[in-house]
Amino acid sequence: MTSKVLLVTGTTSGMGRTIALDAAAAGYTVVATGRDEQRMTELAEDAKARGVELDIRFLEITDHPAVYALIDDVARTHGHLDAVVSQAGGIFALGTAEQITMDGFRFVLETNFFGNLAVIKAALPHLRASKGRLIVTTSANGLVGAPYNDAYAASKFALEGAVESLAPVVARYGVRTTIVEPGPVATDVMALRRFEKLLPTDVVENSPYPEPWDFLSRVIGNTGGVQAVEEVGPQILDLLGRENPPLRFQTAQWARDFVAPKLSADLDGRKVYEASEAYIGLAGLTEPVAG
């Protein structure tokens, strides 16, 4: 296991932090990236306390040249790259489409969609070489829209579509892909520091809408299904170790119940994967092109 090199983005808090620490404890060589230098220092302290080592590096995923440079350097430094968990992102803008500014939509999409897409594009040549694993975290709200969270849902829908299209193609070259779809997870997503970083909204005259942050706080507080963040690390490790991982994986029962009305016949994505394989077959490519 010590020969397996895993890159995890967004490790300065929440799920990314847990995944990185648990993977290092399981024997992976973990490259942990983030953009909050203070929290990266805290992550190093957490790793030391657990008796594990992390290769911690600064990365702003919206800086696409930096993404390519870092991933190439990881592969060069460690000799190969075997797995990527691309899960950096956030809410950034709350409200309806009427409330969120166009710049707000662009900002959220730039991070949650284009930033993760840059990681995927940069990693794929290395993952093809190692016949590795790609895990991309979206959200239950990447399948079912989130009222008063239109920009976030849009960004996650976009990422779902890109990865769902990509997965059967790269599988033909040995790369197994899973889209991870959490529901509410007990991270610091509702912390005051997150609220303070929300982008300003447009003024809606005689607005009929509730205050979006208060709305989201109430929703998360009343779900009754907030998942402990400690549960996520072992789930990701299990997915990384599976011979034939599912296309889709919801991390908790609440998330499965939430998306079931749309995906009840295909929760793990195997049917849509088979449909995509048949689509590829229409071009006469009935067998994997390589390995």
Is 291's pLDDT higher than 80? no
Alpha helices in the chain (DSSP H): 14-25, 37-50, 64-78, 102-109, 116-130, 150-171, 192-196, 212-222, 232-241, 253-263, 270-281
pLDDT of residue 1: 47
Residue 200, pLDDT above cutoff 90: no
Q: Which residues pair with 227 in a beta bridge?
A: 185
| pLDDT confidence of residue 184 | 82
Over residues 121-140, mean pLDDT: 97
The per-residue b/e assignment along 238-269, b for 16 or more CB within 10 angstroms, e otherwise, is ebbeeeebbbbbbbbebbbebbeeebeeebbb
* CA distances to 6, 70, 95 from 63, in Å: 21, 11, 26
Reply yes or no on whether the pLDDT at 19 is more than 70.
yes
Residue 236 has what pLDDT?
Answer: 97
| pLDDT for 91 | 87
Which stretch of 106-110, 120-124, 265-269 has the lowest confidence by average pLDDT?
265-269
In terms of pLDDT, which residue wins out, 207 or 34?
Answer: 34
Q: What confidence score (pLDDT) does residue 290 get?
A: 54
For the chain, what is the mean pLDDT? 90
CA-CA distances (angstroms) from residue 75 to 47, 82, 124, 129, 290?
22, 9, 11, 11, 22
Q: Which of 28, 68, 148, 152 is catalytic?
A: 152
Task: Write the CA distances from 26 to 61, 82, 95, integer angstroms.
Answer: 26, 15, 40
User: With pLDDT > 70 as the criterion, what percentage of the chain qualifies?
Assistant: 92
> Is the predicted pLDDT of residue 44 greater than 70, yes or no?
yes
Query: Which residues, at least 6 apart from 65, have a Cβ–Cβ distance to it below 8 Å?
Result: none
Q: 148 an active-site residue?
A: no
Q: Which residues contact 173 (CB under 8 A, 6 or more apart)?
A: 128, 131, 288, 289, 290, 291
User: Which residue's structure tokens are 């599976």?
Assistant: 242
**More confident site: 38 or 118:** 118
Q: What is the pLDDT of residue 150?
A: 94
Domains of the chain by range and CATH? 5-281 (3.40.50.720)
Single pTM value for the model: 0.91
Across the range 252-264, mean pLDDT stands at: 89
Top mean pLDDT of 1-5, 112-116, 250-254 is at 112-116
The pLDDT tens digits for 49-64 are 999 999 999 999 999 9
Report pLDDT digits (tens) over 91-113.
899 999 999 999 999 999 999 99
Which pLDDT value is given to residue 288? Answer: 62
